[in-house]
Structure 1
Amino acid sequence: MLTLLAGLGFGLSLIVAIGAQNAFVLRQGVRREHVGLVVAVCAASDVLLYLAGTAGLGALVVSHPAVVEVARWAGAAVVLGYGALAARRAWRGDEAGLAAASDGTVADAGRRARPVLLTALALTWLNPHVYLDTIVLQGSLAASHGDERWLFTAGAIVSSVLWFVGLGYGARLLAPVLARPGAWRVVDGVVAAIMLVVAATLVLPALTS
């Protein structure tokens, strides 16, 4: 039980920090748009990465730094692109778009699901921090627990699932606040700023090394 709780606490310490992925989940949750899809992608991705790290894939990642570098620059490009879209929404205002989204047909919703899915996948799998945190760091800590390493990993997985479900479906509680005129412009402005900071943290280590 202590090992399970240790994994749970470790997982939460990694995932709770506001980043590109969390900002995207929060925005989709507030919009109530494809929340289940986004939560499933993020949680399932973490499950796969945690299992891979515990199985020993972390050593392979460390021995091939070129993989991390490719993910670094691709991730920075994706994050900057999403940040630019958020900045554009903040500048122009997105209230009309939100109203249209809530009144869309099932067919329209199906078409919108593809870009949401691709964005969720990109913000998850093109972020090198994800690999370093889940595969390398979590894998190393899990290995330190010996025969109980899978219990540690189970705790980390539970924390990830609970976090994304809570963030995605709990975000709707903010809807009354964000119904105020101009509120979404503030949210999108904050999201754009977060994306810029995340992109900077990805590329600055490579530029200064």
Structure 2
Amino acid sequence: MLESYFTGLLVCGGIIVAIGAQNAYVLSQAIRREHHWWSAGLCMASDVALFTLGMFGVSAALMAVPQALEALRWLGVVFLGWLALQALARAGRGRAVLEAGAATRRSLKGVLLTTLAVTLLNPQVYLDTLLLIPAIGVQQQDATTFVAGASSASVIWFGALAWAGSALAPVLSRPAAWRVIDGLIGVMMAAIALQLAFGSALI
């Protein structure tokens, strides 16, 4: 059971940490101290709901059609490899930084609606939570423990963004910091892609 939990924690953690629109938005809210805990909490709840739906809904169909599981495994390899290349490219060329500007403070409703938009209108979210993660989780010994590990990764990550965002504002104003972050993300995504391709962690 612990193995399933840590697999969910590490695999999903590696996927969640990839700085996308959702993560960048939560981090920018934390830097501005603008309803950031509400935004992070909504992201956590969305992830838990999607992980559960994907694992106990989509996974049943995957088990009934082994060919689909194999196809999804290679889709995951390609997708994660693409994420790795993108992150490493950003690390090489640099990217725009998040700044704690003196923007007009938005309402809680506006922040929550924007959080939902960057979460649910991103096709990558559905590929991760409804396809890629169940494809891995269905091969674990305990699906419930795997989902618990995946959910823990979301809670830990978004909690860390909300808590540390304001404190990290001076660091995140430096382009070099984003080069390091993207470099680490690229290496992590590449490692997960190789793990999926050779099946060492899935058998």
Give TM class, smaller chain.
Answer: 0.5 to 0.7
Q: CA deviation at 1:26?
A: 0.6
Give the number of equivalent residue pairs.
140
Q: CA deviation at 1:174?
A: 2.2
| Structure 2: unaligned runs, 5 residues or longer | 63-67, 69-96, 179-203
Structure 1: 4+ residue segments shifted above 6 A = none
Q: CA separation in 1, counterparts of 2:144 and 2:123?
A: 23
CA contact (8 A) 1:29 1:168 kept: yes
SS of the aligned residue for 1:173 comes to: coil
TM-score, with structure 1 as normaliser: 0.60
Q: CA deviation at 1:94?
A: 7.6
RMSD: 2.7
Once the two structures are superposed, what CA deviation does each residue of 1:113-161 show, in whole Å capped at 9, x if it has no partner?
1111111001101111111111111112111125x11111110110110
Q: CA separation in 1, counterparts of 2:154 and 2:52?
A: 13
CA contact (8 A) 2:32 2:101 kept: no
Instruction: Report sequence identity in percent.
Output: 42
Q: CA separation in 1, counterparts of 2:102 and 2:30?
A: 18
Larger Rg computed on CA atoms: 1
* Residue 143 of structure 1, aligned match among 113, 126, 138: 138
SS of the aligned residue for 2:18 comes to: coil
| Structure 1: unaligned runs, 5 residues or longer | 63-89, 102-108, 191-209
In the alignment, what sits opposite 2:25? 24
* Residue 115 of structure 1, aligned match among 99, 110, 117: 110
Following superposition of structure 1 onto structure 2, how do residues 1-209 of structure 1 map, counting pairs within 5 Å?
1-57=2-58, 59=61, 95-97=101-103, 101=105, 112-146=107-141, 148-176=142-170
Q: CA deviation at 1:56?
A: 1.9
CA contact (8 A) 2:40 2:159 kept: yes
Compare 51-60 and 131-140 and name the one that shifted more: 51-60
TM-score, with structure 2 as normaliser: 0.61
